[in-house]
Amino acid sequence: MPFLRQLIESRNGALSQLAAIAADMFDVPIALVSILDGDRQVFVGRHGLDAEGTPIEQSFCRHAVVQDAPLVVADAELDPRFCANGLVCGAPGIRFYAGVPLRVRMRTGQNAAGIGAFCLIDTVPREFSAADLARLSSLACGVEAILQSMVSSMAMALDAGRITRLYADQQRLQRQFRQAEQMAAMGSWRLDAARQTVTWSEGVYDIHDLPPGDGMPVADAMSYYPPADRERITGLVEQAIRTGAAYDVELDFISARGVCKRVRAIGEPELENGRVIGLIGVFHDVTERHELFVELDRRANTDEVTHVASRHAFVTHVDECVERAQQSGERMALMLIDLDHFKHVNDTFGHGAGDDILRKVATELRSPWLGDSLAARLGGDEFALVITDQAMIAQLPRVAENLLRVLRFPMGRGADPLVVSATIGVVELRGADDCRHDLLQRADRALYSAKHKERGTCEMEWSDRAERQVLKAAG
């Protein structure tokens, strides 16, 4: 294969860009374009790995080439072919591999032959569906087109008659690269440091909701970010030009049509004789992924019935408040609130009525008079209130009495209606040795002590003395 050595020595930035696109599309840390060369495999395109190659005996890609079919290894530690491989046992710690063989026609009239593979690597096991494999194979076609175009370019130097074929190959490459950009909702860009202009691929224009053009001043490109994120990305670009530091950041973004999006911007320096002459990178529309993350975060931190904080959010908030109070010396209080006769409501009036009561409790716990106190539902009919307002903590008895008054809900009609009330246990943070577990344990003891004595009351444990105070509703 006379052109194989030239392929290895002729680096093509588009191969690394496709590797970066694949890594981002499939959320893996490493993506490679490998070529098998005697006793080594050489990475002519790479993302997420500094090494330029490995010994052939460690090559996963060799297996894909030999079998002339895609190779997927869900967990290399469980695969007898690879479990003892140095790349599995040591750095980079390969656990997952998916590779598609790359077939290139090295001479006119010859059939295409396998010369390497386009692969994804992760350091944790993972599944890879048929749809995933189809997408990877589509990207691999783009890699093959680039490699074939490079071979054609080399051959053109020997045979001027191949110019027409080269042009067709390049056109196909552009179409396939464009398809890859559309599939991944991303594009590539280059910034000229001297001219302060930026050129975009069609994918970047698509994200901006603009027709393709010939580039624009950097300042105009920055105008699509809201002020805070514009300042952030401008600083990163200037730092990259000044120091050669790469960046990878997610930002809010407003397209030319006024559509709010979330984008991921990746940039790295372009060097000439050791000097930064520009930046190159990838621009990715991650709006759908970001919105999904926000929704999952909301579900994890918000109770679905009452829309107050969930137990998960409560735990995080209490830990933060304890740490802050211990550092500042300020006071902090915790109320545990248990609803009385709530089970009877569900049994008598149904769970819909019970949910209405829970929502009414949540509304009262978010009343303006409680300030920035955090209300949370811990489960069932148990709520919590975390109080950090110093003026409010100074009047804890009055706060508790008011809560006992407003957290009373008559159910049904007649002379003796069922009344859902609240019993409350209140404690303060004691000192540097106190923690969330201690707070909850003491508040729980105070709550059930009050419940044992008289429902609809509050038992308060003072922070500076062991005694407790029993309170009833104000008014």
Q: What is the per-residue pLDDT across 69-114, written as a single tens digit (0 to 9) for each?
A: 999 999 999 999 999 999 999 999 999 999 999 998 876 666 878 8
Q: What's the pLDDT at 466?
A: 43
Q: What's the pLDDT at 70?
A: 94
Q: What is the Cα 38 distance to its own chain's centre?
A: 40
Q: What's the pLDDT at 271?
A: 87
Phi, psi of 215 (to 5 degrees): 100, 180
The secondary structure of the chain in percent helix, strand, coil, rounded to multiples of 5, reads: 45, 25, 30
Report how far residue 222's alpha carbon sits from residue 231's, in angstroms, rounded to the nearest whole number: 9
Inter-CA distances, 424 with 22, 285, 332, 446, Å: 55, 49, 16, 8
Tell me the per-residue pLDDT of 281-322, one tens digit each, with 9 for 90 and over: 888 888 888 888 878 888 888 898 999 999 999 999 999 999
Report how far residue 113's alpha carbon sits from residue 119's, in angstroms, rounded to the nearest whole number: 17
Q: Are 473 and 404 in contact (CB under 8 A)?
A: yes
Q: What's the pLDDT at 300?
A: 81
Q: What's the pLDDT at 132?
A: 92
Report how far residue 269's alpha carbon sits from residue 267's, in angstroms, rounded to the nearest whole number: 7
Q: Pairing state of beta strands 275-285 and 260-272?
A: antiparallel
Q: What's the pLDDT at 465?
A: 46
Q: What count of other Cβ atoms lies within 10 Å of the Cβ of residue 441?
A: 12
Q: What's the pLDDT at 65?
A: 93
Q: Are 255 and 224 in contact (CB under 8 A)?
A: yes
Report how far residue 416's alpha carbon sits from residue 215's, in angstroms, rounded to the nearest whole number: 78
- Which domains does the chain carry? 4-184 (3.30.450.40), 186-287 (3.30.450.20), 302-471 (3.30.70.270)
Q: What is the pLDDT along the chain (475 residues), one digit of tens a residue?
A: 454 556 666 666 778 888 898 999 999 999 999 988 888 899 988 899 988 889 999 999 999 999 999 999 999 999 999 999 999 999 999 999 999 999 988 766 668 788 899 999 999 999 999 999 998 998 898 888 888 877 776 666 555 544 455 555 555 555 555 554 555 557 888 999 999 999 888 888 988 999 988 889 999 999 999 999 999 999 999 999 999 999 999 999 999 999 999 998 988 998 888 899 999 888 888 888 888 887 888 888 889 899 999 999 999 999 999 999 999 989 999 999 999 999 888 888 888 898 999 999 999 999 999 999 999 999 999 999 999 999 999 999 999 999 999 999 988 776 677 889 999 999 999 877 788 999 999 999 999 999 998 999 999 986 544 445 666 655 4
Q: What's the pLDDT at 130?
A: 92
Q: What's the pLDDT at 62?
A: 94
Give, in degrees to the nearest 5, the angle at Cα 144 between 140 and 146: 115
Classify residue 112 by its DSSP letter.
P
Q: Dihedral, CA atoms, 386, 392, 394, 395, nearest 10 degrees?
A: -110
Report how far residue 107's alpha carbon sits from residue 3's, in angstroms, rounded to the nearest whole number: 9
Q: What is the 3-state secondary structure (H, E, C) of 416-453?
A: CCEEEEEEEEEEECCCCCCCHHHHHHHHHHHHHHHHHH
Q: Dihedral, CA atoms, 179, 129, 95, 185, nearest 10 degrees?
A: 30
